[in-house]
Copies of this chain bind each other. A is one copy, B any other.
Amino acid sequence: MQTAYFIGVDGGGTQCRTRLTNQNGDVLAACSGGPANIWSQFDSAMKQVCQLLDETLHAAGLGPHEAGQTHVVLGLAGGNISRVRAQAQTWPHAYASWQVFSDVEIACPGAHNGQPGAVLITGTGSQGAVWDGQQFRCVGGWGMSLSDQGSGAWLGQQALRLALKAHENLVEHTPLTRALMAHFDHEPETLLAWSVQATPAQWGQFAPQIFQAAREQDNHGVALLACCAQEVSALVSNLSQNGRYPVAMLGGLALPIYPWLSEGIQAMLVPAGGDALSGALRLAHLCA
């Protein structure tokens, strides 16, 4: 029997990682590179991915010949958009198999060690996916204007809107709103100029400050996190389907928001097992 190899790719908005194993699951190589979001930058993402795949084979001492024995599973940011996913699926390659998923999807079989289950990623943005062992269903991830509720970027934006309201005497000022406005020299015009350019990650940079304020019983901080917990709870409930699937929370907000969730929601959550790359490799075995 011919030797088979497996490569998992986890392509996110900030970096792309690969892991190559043999059929026994021994890790032969791992590489990382720049961002790979196929929705915002399709061509550069696909080039990044292909280059990283070559590097990974090379790092394992394998060459173009063994590519034909290698099964590749890509989990790419933006892979939830069917049009670009289809485009990435038909990208020319020389591998034994080539399957495209979203970065959130590959996290499911990773977090639940190959068993059916769901993940909710709440970091800069928010997105969830549930895997029934055969198919994925995704929730959220439609960008800051329409979605991303309960995420760091969403939380930062809510807090800055509130800080500006407090500055204009539309709501009471608290230490949190004063501190946020102080970041912009208490000048709405400075905040405005910043907001026009701000990326989701920049909106999200204020999340730790909001958690800290809430721990200090700041009224606005507490209200913001109560609202954030409610949004996260709705996502967890939706993914769990009344306890049918365990949900693993990942991302920068997963731990800090946990104490703000009700016992009922906490009971739907489980710790993540393996990482997204291990999920991609499990899918690669299934797809092989």
Contact = CB atoms under 8 A, between A and B. Distances in A.
Interface of A: 81-83, 139-140, 142-143, 145-147, 149, 157, 160-161, 164-165, 168-171, 188-189, 191-192, 195-196, 198, 234-235, 238
A196 B146 CA distance: 10
Contacts of A145: 157, 195-196, 198
Contacts of A164: 142, 146-147
A229 B164 CA distance: 19
Nearest to A142: B192
A81 B190 CA distance: 10
Contacts of A196: 143, 145
A245 to B, nearest CB: 14
A146 B160 CA distance: 7
Nearest to A194: B146
A203 B183 CA distance: 30
A83 B189 contact: yes
Instruction: Choose among A170, A191, A196 the residue with the greatest number of B CB atoms under 10 Å from its CB.
Output: A170
A139 B157 contact: no
B143 A192 contact: yes
Instruction: Choose among A171, A188, A238 the residue with the greatest number of B CB atoms under 10 Å from its CB.
Output: A188
B146 A161 contact: yes
10 A-B pairs with least C-beta separation: A145-B195, A170-B234, A142-B192, A139-B168, A146-B195, A146-B164, A142-B188, A170-B238, A81-B189, A146-B161
Nearest to A161: B146
Instruction: Choose among A142, A145, A161, A234 the residue with the greatest number of B CB atoms under 10 Å from its CB.
Output: A145
A141 to B, nearest CB: 9
Nearest to A40: B196
Nearest to A234: B170
Contact of A189 (B82, B165, B198): B82
A145 B83 CA distance: 28
A198 B142 CA distance: 14
